[in-house]
Amino acid sequence: MDLNLRGRTALITGASKGIGIASAECLAAEGVNLILVSRTQADLDAARDRIAGRHNVNVQVHAFDLSDSRNVDRLAEQHPDIDILVNNAGAIPGGDLQAITEDRWRAAWDLKVFGYINMCRRFYAEMKSRKRGVIINILGMAGEKMDRTYIAGSTGNAALMAFTKALGGSAGDDGLRVVGINPGAIATDRLVTLMKTRAQGQFGDESRWEEYLKPLPMGRAGKPREIGVMVALLASDLSAYTSGTIITIDGGAANRGPMF
């Protein structure tokens, strides 16, 4: 399906791996030019080469730590006229209340929670001045299915769900749309790290992490591309009446009882 996105420009954070690069590839397949942001230059260079080798689009990269709001300002100054913003940066560590120290909690939230808020603040203002733009926040199922062993992530994602709904609820008045996606268990490096943390805490053996995947819907984790195609659809005018809502992509896990 042609989503009529050709020629538009998307800025994607956390773009060098997992859901970020899957979203970038799905948008590139629709002819969207890309600005990819993550912390590591080598990973960004590899992502740029991979996408540019497959799709006839312009790909720019920036190695920025978005927990520093000065880098958010730098991005907005260099790319004020983007059409699509995909906030995806940030990995909040697993663990219960006693396991996550204040320093770790604050560092994780500076990147994901406050990073998303700061990116929205800057780019929403730029988009509003043109009466055009879409912001897509990649959140996480833990924000709706609370988990004490992932307490910093559950709390942060719930906050970002509320933020996305509040901002998106009136975005149409400014000619914009703001939506969120809650991925469930998706087969990324981050999922493996989280499951190893759980396995180490429960079994004292991180190598048993795959045991947590057995009860998942359809007998598998989701694929990053399955999130990426939703990003492309939501970014398109086919979703022109979608704003202020969160779309959960988890195979139905949020409604089938405990998984882990």
DSSP character string of 98-144: TTS-HHHHHHHHHHTHHHHHHHHHHHHHHHHHHT-EEEEEE--GGGT
User: What is residue 35's predicted lDDT score, i.e. its pLDDT?
Assistant: 98
Instruction: With CA atoms as reference, report the closest residue to 34 among 2, 6, 11.
Output: 11
Asked whether the predicted pLDDT for residue 140 surpasses 50, the reply is yes
User: What is residue 73's predicted lDDT score, i.e. its pLDDT?
Assistant: 97
Asked whether the predicted pLDDT for residue 194 surpasses 90, the reply is no
User: What is residue 260's predicted lDDT score, i.e. its pLDDT?
Assistant: 46
Residue 257's pLDDT band (cuts 50, 70, 90): low
Asked whether the predicted pLDDT for residue 53 surpasses 60, the reply is yes
User: What is residue 88's predicted lDDT score, i.e. its pLDDT?
Assistant: 97
Asked whether the predicted pLDDT for residue 118 surpasses 90, the reply is yes
Asked whether the predicted pLDDT for residue 156 surpasses 60, the reply is yes
Mean pLDDT of 171-195: 90
Q: Which pTM was predicted?
A: 0.91
User: What is residue 259's predicted lDDT score, i.e. its pLDDT?
Assistant: 46
User: What is residue 258's predicted lDDT score, i.e. its pLDDT?
Assistant: 54
Pairing status of strand 84-87 against strand 246-249: unpaired
User: What is residue 146's predicted lDDT score, i.e. its pLDDT?
Assistant: 86
Tell the CATH topology of 9-186+222-250: Rossmann fold (3.40.50)
Separation of first and last alpha carbons in the chain? 37
Asked whether the predicted pLDDT for residue 64 surpasses 80, the reply is yes
User: What is residue 211's predicted lDDT score, i.e. its pLDDT?
Assistant: 86
Asked whether the predicted pLDDT for residue 151 surpasses 80, the reply is yes
Asked whether the predicted pLDDT for residue 109 surpasses 90, the reply is yes
Asked whether the predicted pLDDT for residue 103 surpasses 90, the reply is yes
Specify the amino acid at residue 91: A
Residue 91 CA to its chain's centroid (Å): 10
User: What is residue 185's predicted lDDT score, i.e. its pLDDT?
Assistant: 87
| Interatomic CA distance for residues 4 and 30, integer angstroms | 7
Mean pLDDT of 209-226: 88
Residue 89 main-chain phi, psi, to 5 deg: -75, 140
